[in-house]
Chains A and B, each alone.
Chain A
Amino acid sequence: MSTPYLAANESAEPARSWLADAGRGLSAILPPLALLIATLVLWEIAIRLFKVPTFVLPAPSAIVASLIESRAALLVAAKATAIEVLFGFVLAGVVGVAVALVIVRFERFGRALYPLVVLFQTVPKVALAPIFILWFGYDLAPKILLIVVIAFFPVAIDMLAGLQSVEPSFVALMRSVGASKTEILRRVRIPHSLPHLMAGLKVAITFSVIGAIVGEFAGASAGLGYVIQFASTQLDTPLVFAALVVVSVLGLVFYYLVELAERLLVPWAPKFDLMHRS
């Protein structure tokens, strides 16, 4: 811990710039971490001071106790939810990319498809959950389907924006030397759209977690959403919060996996990093 911090205080030599980066990252994490700890401490004190019943709002210590006590069950539930998120997210990505490519490559059909996609987006997807349960039962399928309808849209829209934002003069230049639409799509539009696609995927992964939980609320026999619903009917509020903590951690892990993929796949992408904003 101390090494990168020291490096950050030294002048940022190019050779050890990653150390300096890590040091800056650490100093960026410290303030929010301190605020979080302070909030938790205040929360704990308030609960004890005003003697708030645990089933209304548990103290952080009670949530931690519940986390430890029910760790086996939470782990099983997290695994079930993670599988739904993973399958749903991948499928949403595939559908989103396909929609964007079809709209761009087949302009005429695209003009018909695009308004319908937008129209579909205005349907409250959460309301579809009971229907999907009705059609596909209580298993994996309805959750995955729900995730796809919730999460494909940001992927499609961002990918589309990326495909269409290629410099028109450059497209004209390629066409003038005899490039076909397919060649322009393959060699310029698609690579150009990748940073946009990754931005869409980052939104989609958070939507995917929401979709999985909502799907489980609507009808499930496993998963974190199921645990939350079950625990709340039992007035086991600490377990509800414990499950929420696990959901958050799961969402965070998935989000950073996508961000890692972004760094590896599209290193030329402009960085939108709040922490290191200069």
Chain B
Amino acid sequence: MTTAIASAYPASVAASAPVTDTAPIHIAAHGIAVEFSLNGRRQRVLHDINLSVPKGSFVSLIGPSGCGKSTLLKVMAGLVQPVEGTVTVAGLAPQEAARRRMIGLVFQDATLLPWKNAVENAAFLLMTGNTNVKRADAMARAAEMLRLVGLEGANDKMPSQLSGGMRQRVAIARALALDPEVLLMDEPFGALDAITREEMSQCLLDIWERTGKTIVLVTHSIDESVFLSREVHVMGTGPARIIETLPITLPHPRTEESFADPAFTRAEARLRSLLIESHRTRGTGK
């Protein structure tokens, strides 16, 4: 098991996962604006968003519901077209990056296919589109990813036999199977209970440290964002924008003890006050 992962991800990457601040910019957004039409009226859901994510970093987007953080993630994934501004993922337009399988996506809902077992689900996107990937290769790769997310021995399990946390692990394995450069996650643990959330957070951190992927996480949870990220972008509404970018200085490796670290408490308090403030001004149009 370990050898398979080690071969896929060299030890050097695993050891030096936390990136330096000089890492090249992997995702860059300049002056992004997004409009949706609602009842025939155009409504601006994102306004002048500037964001840069260094390669190999782990950043979170946090903000009150309806602040457009999921929309921003969709812009990075190429699923939503901005009306203004530019986004690049590894120097490419998001849609092109997605087509080249450089983007892995995980939603709040695992969206597994109920008629396929865990390994078939994990291999599904790998075999989607015009690919020359052989079925056997895709399945082997998917099985390897299931091991990576801690689902060893669950290959033949159907989604209905898996718990919510395990289904979400399969969804993460499905995204990782593409061997993407960036992993975009939209409240991936939002539907899970508190204990499972913490388990999944630890699992995700472990994956990040081993694979060195660039990860962008959209979350509601202050704890989660501090525990996982190197940087947290706090978003506010009216119009939706990034109100502050907070670097998280919590040392690595992060474990259960990290929750008691003064750096954790400081960051948490700062984020809480920012969120309360942005919540108070929400919908006032300021």
Query: Residues on A close to B: CB < 8 A?
Result: 167, 169-170, 172-174, 176-179, 183, 187-188, 191-192, 194, 266, 268
Contact = CB atoms under 8 A, between A and B. Distances in A.
A191 B115 contact: yes
B223 to A, nearest CB: 25
Interface string B105-133: 10101010111000000000100111000
B113 A183 contact: no
Contacts of B178: 177
Contact of A268 (B105, B128, B160): B160
A183 B115 CA distance: 17
A266 to B, nearest CB: 8
A169 B107 CA distance: 8
A256 B99 CA distance: 46
Given A174-B125, A177-B178, A179-B129, A167 B101 contact: no
Given A167-B109, A167-B111, 19 more contacts: A170-B107, A172-B79, A174-B129, A176-B78, A176-B99, A176-B105, A177-B98, A177-B101, A177-B125, A177-B128, A177-B178, A178-B99, A178-B128, A187-B128, A191-B113, A192-B113, A268-B114, A268-B115, A268-B160
Given A172-B79, A268-B158, A183 B105 contact: no
Contacts of A170: 107, 111
Interface of B: 77-79, 95, 98-99, 101, 103, 105, 107, 109, 111, 113-115, 125, 128-130, 158, 160, 178
Nearest to A175: B79
B160 A176 contact: no
Give the one of A170, A174, A176 with max B CB within 10 A. Answer: A176
B113 A179 contact: no
Nearest to B105: A173
Contact of B111 (A169, A183, A187, A268): A169
Contacts of A173: 105, 107, 111, 125
8 contacts: A169-B109, A176-B77, A176-B78, A176-B95, A176-B98, A183-B129, A194-B115, A268-B115
